């Protein structure tokens, strides 16, 4: 009996030793940074929903989220951090990278898409695949297809057609829009969204173009007198996706990539479907703050798009051979889904 007990104890000890050599599945913490306010901005909400969906499928994939530029104070530096792998994910307008990657300006070309719902038609198009190729060639991987709509706010006078912009100091958000604004006679300034409130307050800007989310989360209704927002027509529709460092993306297993892609597909539908509601909330908030709100008319929209196509679109096509190729892919994709 004693011998049996000894043999059993030895066997158990050996089994324990073997089990001890099997490594536990280690958790992976992803750093996700963005400049948007926590809780009242749909980009922050969507990034948290994405993280929740991923972790629900695989608890070893966890996220540390840094909103409101709390990790990287200069929003423009988020791109560098993604490219060198300092951070893993960020929600950032692709146009913030246009100085380094001019091809990304296509994601704000005035008149290219008319709404977030319209942009969703291009989600799996040749255009979207070409855009991903450009991103990956520059160390980035586009996870989501989040589009935001927006409009003009101003302290000097209402903005209607191009003639109304003459003499105004405006921030247009990207060189492609800036070209059209300059052609209309405006002085154009470049700055990230985090600086817009102070620029309006100090008089550096008379007005600007930006997304409804930014108008709300940056409380720009407090510094505006006039707004051209809401309605069916706007020249501001912008891709602001959740982007992953390609270094981090390439470390994922095929199964993990599938989890990320599934979460992206869910949030794409949710995010873009909510844009109409975001627009209505923005209009209501601006009116409640005493801002004079108007909608852009179809003739005004047509004037802006005609101006953009002979200025912004032409300049974009000349910015690089890859830009011309991407514009061609967009136009072919656009023709297929109309």
| CB environment 210-241: b (16+ within 10 A), e (fewer) | bbbbbbbbbebbebbbbbbbbbebbbbbbbbb
Q: Give yes or no for a contact between 151 and 209, defined as CB atoms under 8 angstroms apart.
A: yes
Q: What is the mean pLDDT of each run of 10 residues along the chain (338 residues)?
A: 45 39 58 92 95 98 96 91 96 91 96 92 97 98 97 96 97 92 96 93 97 94 97 94 98 98 97 92 98 97 96 95 96 91
Chain-centre distance of CA 255, in angstroms?
25
| CB environment 48-63: b (16+ within 10 A), e (fewer) | bbbbebbbeebeebeb
Say what the pLDDT of residue 315 is: 94
- Write out the two tokens for 152: 């003009």
| CB environment 123-143: b (16+ within 10 A), e (fewer) | bebbbbebbeebbeebbbbbb
Say what the pLDDT of residue 26 is: 53
Shortest CA distance to 211 belongs to which of 190, 187, 227?
227
- Write out the two tokens for 181: 């604004």
C-alpha 209/C-alpha 152 separation (Å) is 5
The three-state secondary structure class of 145 is coil
Say what the pLDDT of residue 20 is: 36
Shortest CA distance to 58 belongs to which of 89, 22, 28, 91?
28
Say what the pLDDT of residue 85 is: 95
> Which residues touch 104 (CB under 8 Å, ≥6 apart)?
94, 95, 97, 98, 134
Say what the pLDDT of residue 173 is: 85
The three-state secondary structure class of 209 is strand
Per-residue pLDDT tens over the stretch 60-91:
999 999 999 999 999 889 999 999 999 999 99
Say what the pLDDT of residue 321 is: 95
Q: Give yes or no for a contact between 75 and 90, defined as CB atoms under 8 angstroms apart.
A: no
Domains, the chain: 27-337 (3.40.190.170)
Say what the pLDDT of residue 239 is: 97
Chain-centre distance of CA 220, in angstroms?
19
Prediction pTM value:
0.86
- Write out the two tokens for 249: 């993306």
Per-residue pLDDT tens over the stretch 172-201:
989 999 999 999 999 999 998 889 999 999
Q: Using the structure block, give the residue that is written with the tokens 């912004």.
A: 312
- Write out the two tokens for 269: 């539908």
Distances (CA, A) of 113 to 117, 134, 144, 230, 305: 9, 20, 17, 16, 11
**181 sits in which H/E element:** helix 175-183
Q: What is the CA radius of gyration of the chain?
A: 24
Q: Give yes or no for a contact between 114 and 237, defined as CB atoms under 8 angstroms apart.
A: yes
SS percent in the chain: helix, strand, coil, step 5: 55, 15, 30
Say what the pLDDT of residue 148 is: 94
Residue 211 dihedral angles phi and psi, to the nearest 5°: -80, 160
């Amino acid at each position: 009996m004693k011998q049996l007990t000894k043999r059993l104890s030895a066997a158990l000890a050996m089994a324990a030793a073997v089990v001890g050599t099997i490594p536990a599945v280690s958790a992976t913490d992803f750093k996700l940074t963005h400049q948007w306010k926590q809780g009242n901005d749909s980009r922050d909400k969507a990034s948290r929903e994405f993280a929740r969906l991923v972790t629900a499928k695989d608890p070893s994939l966890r996220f540390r989220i840094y909103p409101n530029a709390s990790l990287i104070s200069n929003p423009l530096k988020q791109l560098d951090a993604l490219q060198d792998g300092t951070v893993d994910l960020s929600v950032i307008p692709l146009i913030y990278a246009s100085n380094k990657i001019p091809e990304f300006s296509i994601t704000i070309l005035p008149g290219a898409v008319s709404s977030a719902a319209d942009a969703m038609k291009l989600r799996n198009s040749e255009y979207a695949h070409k855009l991903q190729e450009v991103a990956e060639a520059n160390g980035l991987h586009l996870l989501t297809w989040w589009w935001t709509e927006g409009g003009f706010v101003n302290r000097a006078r209402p903005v209607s057609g191009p003639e109304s912009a003459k003499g105004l100091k405006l921030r247009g958000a990207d060189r492609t829009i800036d070209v059209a604004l300059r052609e209309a006679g405006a002085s154009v300034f470049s700055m990230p969204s985090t600086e817009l409130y102070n620029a309006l307050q100090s008089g550096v800007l008379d007005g600007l173009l930006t997304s409804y989310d930014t108008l709300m989360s940056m409380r720009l209704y407090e510094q505006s007198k006039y707004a051209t927002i809401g309605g069916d027509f706007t020249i501001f529709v912008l891709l602001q996706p959740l982007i992953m460092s390609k270094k981090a993306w390439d470390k994922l297993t095929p199964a993990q990539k599938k989890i990320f892609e599934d979460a992206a597909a869910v949030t794409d539908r949710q995010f873009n479907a909510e844009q109409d509601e975001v627009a209505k909330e923005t209009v209501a908030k601006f009116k409640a703050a005493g801002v004079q709100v108007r909608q852009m008319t179809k003739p005004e929209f047509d004037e802006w798009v005609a101006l953009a196509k002979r200025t912004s679109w032409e300049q974009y096509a000349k910015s690089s051979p890859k830009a011309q190729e991407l514009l061609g892919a967009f136009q072919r994709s656009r023709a297929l889904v109309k």
